[in-house]
Chain A
């Protein structure tokens, strides 16, 4: 597919459906079937163990304009080994970027004429407690209005050292997004000028949307009994 395609991301989606997974990306192991563990499990499914596998890394060619973006991205100054891996899934491309070079990569993605990702749609955090050594992920969605393309950047950091460089200098819109991700996940964005809580009160302890932070609901009282809060109910796992 050529550069001129104005609607690249959509025309190629059908042909990009397949995931070129070569290695398994296990982030967690699911046990049992009803969320009950130990002797409380009378379901007979207690021995069930299934790995949670995220879509694995793809190998080039990725198809369509994906290859061109990948090539131009690594052609940037100091970005030759910026990409840890590339995942193509459901017609969307994800570049895992080494966190040291995130800022340079963002700058290059914005300024290079063949890339031109003018708009940072958003920053979102995801917490994978089972993904040891890279528990916290910061996910950036970029949009190129010039070429009508969307890509996703993903940066990982361990819980002990939750630091990711800020892209606020490149995309001023990242200001609030990064503050929200700090507030909810505790990822520190180095270089952000005023990384303070944004949604929770200033003196709030903890980062509520991490997986190890409880939902915080209370038991609901009914006539004749209680129903536990949603995070304490028995549920399918």
Chain B
């Protein structure tokens, strides 16, 4: 074959490779191809792949014969970076893994650190309530993003605009409480970084009322929509055996009918004292997962309401562990020049007590030591089981922190869900997994 400006070729061990740059398709020889199978690369930069996911698809016409996921395009080395920071600073890094559900990352990490420290039963009630509140609000915002981006990918742009509109309201609450819209670093080993500011409870009650008004819109838009059902029903099917073999958890597992939810099965932080239901469905397809996410938002709202009541009854109680060797010494406050250590604390350490200054300095620069050993702390994130395997060598920094991210594991299911189906259904299958590449690649 002669040199072609549009489609030059090269030989590889598996046959002739065409580098098509556009134009003269007539000049491409198909002699060396068997059948009509084409290998198509999708991504890593593609609008419908939830970030930088690369899919290598072998297709025959519109039918997908082989689907492989290529990941690692967002590998950030967060786990290695955490080994060079103190245990407290680790939260700042791990919150940026799954950036759609940052509180889940923080929760898994601080849970593992607290287990290693042996202080699990010393976390104050108010800190636990605040943690549960943030996790559940985050579950709603994460599911909203899942539904919004999933809708956008099948062309339902209204769902996308609605999802981001309502997520914005939740982010406002996050910003009020933590000071940041995303990547909060709010949970700390021993509690949370600061207590709720004044007026939070009222704000949260308004938020719950607003969400109760807005959430039915998704049901009205989608649930009985014939196009929506046509695109989602019977697409991306994966039964219980397949789900367990692939280690998949979260809404995908519950769409097979198994009521596995770590909040109920292995409760942490007082989840067993809240009244809520685990949503399951016997529709192991994209529609079932969509419905589970939608209904789980309602259950999360129920938990949030109970949290608000408990916040009122625990008003004024500490949000940080009483052990001064672990508790972060300073409380933050908002001043005229932004957020920082509270003026009372500054006055105390700079003007009143030398010992307090030394204590502050040691704990902030050196950090606390964590007894040697390893711990595995798993929680139910919006996407499934997220867990931190933390190893300590008795130092002030993690020896190793490994995250079992649900997106990473669940994404393995994309081959099983999309092979044999149509090309356009691959997008739906990926959307129903709801992977976040920051969590997949870490």
Touch between A and B in complex, CB under 8 Å? Answer: yes
- Cα–Cα distance between A92 and B44 once the two chains are bound (Å): 40
Task: Tell me which of A52, A150, A230 contacts B81 (CB under 8 A).
Answer: A230
Q: How far is the CB of B241 from chain A (nearest CB, A)?
A: 10
Assess whether B402 is in contact with A172, with CB atoms less than 8 Å apart: no
- Cα–Cα distance between A24 and B15 once the two chains are bound (Å): 58
Give residues of chain A (96-121) contacting chain B, Cβ–Cβ below 8 Å: 118-121
- Cα–Cα distance between A151 and B375 once the two chains are bound (Å): 11
Give residues of chain B (359-410) contacting chain A, Cβ–Cβ below 8 Å: 366-367, 372-376, 378, 385, 387, 389, 391, 393-397, 399-400, 402, 404, 408-409
Determine if B260 is an interface residue (Cβ-Cβ < 8 Å).
Answer: yes
* Given contact pairs A30-B395, A145-B260, A176-B412, A121 touches B118 in the complex (Cβ within 8 A): no
* Given contact pairs A27-B393, A121-B387, A198 touches B247 in the complex (Cβ within 8 A): no
Determine if A122 is an interface residue (Cβ-Cβ < 8 Å).
Answer: yes
Assess whether B394 is in contact with A199, with CB atoms less than 8 Å apart: no
Assess whether A119 is in contact with B373, with CB atoms less than 8 Å apart: no
Interface size, chain A (Cβ < 8 Å): 56
Determine if A152 is an interface residue (Cβ-Cβ < 8 Å).
Answer: yes
Assess whether A124 is in contact with B372, with CB atoms less than 8 Å apart: no
Assess whether A119 is in contact with B247, with CB atoms less than 8 Å apart: yes
Q: Which of B72, B85, B265 has the most CB of A within 10 A?
A: B72
B55-91 vs A, CB cutoff 8 Å, 1 = contact: the mask equals 0000000000000000110010101110111000000
Please indicate the chain A residues that have their CB under 8 angstroms from the CB of B71 in the complex: 198-199
Assess whether A90 is in contact with B378, with CB atoms less than 8 Å apart: no
Give residues of chain B (404-442) contacting chain A, Cβ–Cβ below 8 Å: 404, 408-409, 411-412, 441-442
Determine if A32 is an interface residue (Cβ-Cβ < 8 Å).
Answer: no
Task: Tell me which of A17, A94, A148, A176 contacts B374 (CB under 8 A).
Answer: A94
Please indicate the chain B residues that have their CB under 8 angstroms from the CB of A64 in the complex: none
Please indicate the chain A residues that have their CB under 8 angstroms from the CB of B397 in the complex: 235
Assess whether B387 is in contact with A141, with CB atoms less than 8 Å apart: yes
Q: Which of A120, A141, A173, A197 has the most CB of B within 10 A?
A: A173
B-to-A contact residues, CB < 8 Å: 71-72, 75, 77, 79-81, 83-85, 115-116, 118, 121, 244-249, 258, 260, 265-267, 366-367, 372-376, 378, 385, 387, 389, 391, 393-397, 399-400, 402, 404, 408-409, 411-412, 441-442
29 A-B contact pairs sorted by A residue (CB < 8 Å): A14-B121, A27-B393, A30-B394, A52-B395, A90-B373, A92-B115, A92-B375, A92-B376, A118-B244, A121-B376, A121-B385, A121-B404, A126-B402, A139-B389, A141-B376, A145-B260, A145-B265, A152-B376, A175-B412, A176-B409, A180-B408, A198-B71, A199-B71, A199-B72, A209-B80, A215-B84, A235-B84, A235-B397, A236-B395
